[in-house]
Amino acid sequence: MAPLTWFITGGSAGLGLALAKAALSKGDKVIVTSRSANKLSAIAAEGAIPVALDINGSAEAIDAVILDVIEKYGQIDVLVNNAGYGEMGTFEEIELSAIEQQFQTNFYGPVKVMKAFLPHMRSKRSGLVLNIGSVSAALPSPSMGIYGASKAALRRVSLSIDAEVKQFGVRVLVVEPGAFRTSITDDYYSSAFKLPAKYKDYDALRVEAEKLVAHLANAKGNPAVFGEILTNLAHHEKEFKEELPSILSLGINCYSIKQHILNNQLKELETFKEVSISTDTL
């Protein structure tokens, strides 16, 4: 298959870096972004094209960067919205400003990038968007509600956009990883990491959240395998020759968590079936 051109946000570390390396190993052209191009020197030395892009910037600023990229490098085949972070803490203890910033980065950032790229892909009648979500979008976990909500919003809009643009040969898919061990998780979930602690009533939940942090810091997910799977998907190879998933769940914990949640939802749906169907009486 012919080489692809990728545009990966948040490509300086973590899963974004792993994906960039995997795409380069396929012989693809890879454009990677970070707020500072200086953070991209290592992957640039391996052949990637570094671009400074702040997804929290204005739509106009993002449009200008992306237009310049398209003019310089031509058709972008694969857009990966990977840049993001996780805000943890109970709802009452997280500041409103932190909630707004979480959505600004994890939801509005990808939305602005898609707004800039989709006209280009639609005009070419070809393109793939991979929005990196999280198992937290499906998991009602204490202290992860704000992060999960931002990823759930990204999931929902992605599925709707996919239904709109599929007719033009463009796909918008969601990738929802479980726990993966990267340099980002090592730094973020270090011993210095502290959850907001305003109310003693939430002490027990805070302890549980700290256990989750410890689990994430020792995750078994392999970023290199993550990158290999997504490059296979983009090239329609191996498991993806015949069909692409709307939502791709990656990681044993992600699979088992979603299976448990879906089974419980089906059970609850059946329990209250008579109530649910009792409203249609007109």
Residues carrying an active site annotation? 147
Distance CA 254, CA 147 (A): 16
Q: Name the helix (H) or strand (E) containing 151.
A: helix 145-165
Helix axes 109-124, 59-73, angle to 10 degrees: 40
Half-sphere CA count of 39, side-chain side, radius 13 A? 17
Q: Name the residue among 216, 202, 254 with its Cα closest to residue 89.
A: 202
Report the alpha-carbon distance of residue 273 to residue 282 in Å, rounded.
19
The two structure tokens encoding residue 35: 């707020």
Helix (H) or strand (E) holding 176: strand 170-177
Q: How far is Cα 76 from Cα 56, in angstroms, rounded to an integer?
A: 21
Q: What is the three-class DSSP state of 194?
A: coil
Q: Which residues pair with 36 in a beta bridge?
A: none
